[in-house]
Amino acid sequence: MDTSFDLKSLRERVQRWKSAGLTVALVPTMGNLHEGHISLLSRAREIADRTVVSIFVNPIQFGKGEDYENYPSTLDDDLNKLERAGLDLLFAPNLSELYPAGTEEDTRVTVPALSDILCGEYRPGHFSGVATVVIKLLTNVQPDYALFGEKDYQQVQVIRRMVRDLLVPTEIVAMPIIREADGLAMSSRNSYLDSEQRDTAALIFQTLTAAAALVREQSRALADIEAEATRTLAAAGMRPEYFSVRRQDDLLPAGAGDQNLIVLVAAWLGSARLIDNIRVDLDRPIKD
């Protein structure tokens, strides 16, 4: 496994691959890797000739008071995992090179509407920060494929829209959520949980599963299902930001005539903000 710390060496390596007719897949990460990340790399190795993983904790996607300064860093362990997984190239960019005008003045990319709902409502500017760093990575790696986990479903949709609108010739590949044995979605922020909170966190997936079953039955109003789920999480000591049934394609609220849905949740448990989702594909559209 090779490592590039600057854009020049990254571009040179990728260009040699491209000149040889090889395809390239990119897996962007912020480090503190878990099996969810490794599943992305495993799929990348299946679909492309060469693989690149980036590790960069992107400051402009964190809001004031969020955990940028404390985001877990496990670089040595990450390197061991990537080596064992058969990575070709690790890209660990320099902050000043990636943001030449500085993080306050550098150009930003914004995907309208889709970035302002759900997580975007509670984390203003977050998805602009995500879109900006991703387009920088795509521009410099020029991958044939870029892989992202569906735990961050809204993020995937924002990136898909950006790539489509900006005519970027990279295929965005979304991969299924990897879960712990009790259903908790794997996340770097799970490390913030103490043992008691960790047990409680399993309720998120249980509540999602129960809500999804009710949505499939179409026996109750969606608003009632959302409200009951929110109360369940709050009663367990969580601080839900949203629990919402949406359309899969544009994340607008689900309603009559919709059939391909997704149930999404964001909730605080102690100092950890946890997100998760589950798809619901109905046999028949929602009734009036």
| Residues classed as catalytic | 37
- Round to whole Å and give the CA distance between 135 and 159: 9
CA-only gyration radius of the chain, Å: 19
Q: Sheet harboring 239-247: ordered strands across?
A: 239-247, 260-269, 272-281
CA angle 100, 66, 209 (to 5 degrees): 120
How do strand 89-91 and strand 272-281 relate by DSSP bridges? Answer: unpaired
DSSP-H helix ranges across the chain: 7-19, 35-47, 75-85, 95-98, 119-122, 126-141, 153-165, 195-217, 222-235
Per the CB < 8 A criterion, the answer to whether 250 and 278 are in contact is: no
H or E element that contains 175: strand 171-175
Q: For the chain, give the longest Cα–Cα distance.
A: 58
The answer to whether the beta carbons of residues 157 and 252 sit under 8 Å apart is: no
Distance of CA 96 to the CA centre of its chain: 24
Phi-psi region of 12 (alpha: psi -120 to 50; beta: other; left: phi over 0): alpha
